[in-house]
Every structure is written in structure tokens, then in C-alpha cells.
Structure 1
Amino acid sequence: MFNSYDKPLPIIDEDSKGYWEHARAHRLSVQVCKACGHRHFPPTPVCPACLSNTQSWEPVSGRGTLVSWVTFHRAYWTAFRDDLPYHVCLVQLEDGPLVVGNFVGAIPENAAMGMPMKVQFDDVTPDISLAKFVPA
């Protein structure tokens, strides 16, 4: 069912657990402050806007716009060596913060700032699904 995945895996802790539960169900989510409604990512133990510690995870649409991208030609971890070059993108979510992810496959031929993007999930282990992005 799953191929052998030899890349670094996230360490799931109390702050990130909700994100990974949603991702496993193929839902992109962001942390939301119950006190002020601020949406943020990555997770924090307190809200960066009001410092409340009442955080929760809410699904978002997974749609956004391409802000920037980069191609890595160096493997900082040995497990990524066979993937070189690999491509990382920065996406501004329609209903949330900026998120960093990978493109699914190569950079789209017509990649441009502002390009509509949507999330797609890659099930890499029975417990971990990684959010990646494709043109919408």
C-alpha cells in the first residue's frame, strides 16, 4: 500500500497533532485562536496576535495563490538526493496564512506569481499525509 518512505518525518506534538489529524483525512487546516480568531501557521502554543493559549485547528479550502517558489539543487538531507532538483512553493491561502509546500512534480510551465493553486495530499505513511500544491 505505501512505498518505503525514507525522508524525515514530522514530530507530532500537542501543538501540531490537530494539523496532522486533518491532513490524514486530506483536509488542509490552520491553527485558529479561540479568543481573537487569528488564523496562523505553523502552530504555536499561544496566539501570535493576542497571546491566548486557546488554540484549535480548522479546515480551510486548500485554495490560494502562488506567491513565490524556489528550486533546490542541493540535498541537505541524504534522503532527498534522488529527488534533486526539487521544488518548493509559497502559497497565500484564500482563507488563511502563507504556507510552504512542495509542488506535485515539476514547477508548472506557466508558473507565475498570483497563479491559482490548490492543495493535494501525498500519503507517505499510514499516519502521515503531506500537503503539496498543484495549479487550480
Structure 2
Amino acid sequence: MGDASELLTGDWQGTYYYPARFEPVPFEASLIEFEGLVTGTTSEINRVAGGAEQKMQGHLDGERSGDAVHFSKVYVGAPDQHRLEILYAGMVRDKGTRIEGTWTIPGNWSGVFKMTRTRQKQVWFRRRWWFEKTGV
């Protein structure tokens, strides 16, 4: 995986793309990586469901092995059509500053996504997260 500068912990800007008639969706993500585990949150504006635009929050859980990263996203408090788990599979590029890959809602939709790091968080943040998560 390399040194700490290549860990995915930090803030990200991304876009995911639908395979059909919908516009690309920009999102923000905050990731934490520790010992191959990846968790985080996302924020985006729902423009697909019709009606007024709505800000949606998601929770990410997954793992990283070398340059490969896999995680799932579940929206928190989302409308019915956004309650399915979304699976992401991607590759880390450019020394940990980009992630590109595909997203899938099994049996429903799939498309591609791209993320670019906007800010890296410090090592102490990763350690604090680990202690809080494990209760050590």
C-alpha cells in the first residue's frame, strides 16, 4: 500500500454516472482507511426522484487491498427508491489521489464513478477513529 501519504483517509470530490438518461451526480465523501478497512460518509443532492432537490447522506463500509478498493454505500433516511445497497469497486490511482471504478445496484442499475482527493487528514485522526471503533 505504501506510506501514510497514500492512505485514503481524507476528503474527496466525486461524480457518479448513470448508464442512461440521467445527468451525472456530483458528491462529496470523507473516508477513513485503517489497516485495509475503509469507512466514511457521502453527501449529494438527489436529482433523480423528481420533485424538489433533496440532500442525501450515505454511509460507506469496505476494504482496500493494494490498489483495489471495494465498499458499499447505504443512504441514511433516504426515500424508498434509494434504500438499496450500492456496491462500488475501484482502483486507487496517482499515489492515492484518485479512485475510479464502477458502482452497481445488484439486479437494477450500474455505472462508473470517479473521485479526487481534496484534503488528506492527519495520522492522529486515523488512530482516534480506530480506538473509537474497536473500543480499545
Q: Is the TM value for this pair above 0.5? A: no
Q: Which has the higher strand share?
A: 2
Identify, as 1 or 2, the structure richer in helix: 2
Q: TM-score, normalised by structure 1?
A: 0.28
Using the size of structure 2 for normalisation, the TM-score is 0.28
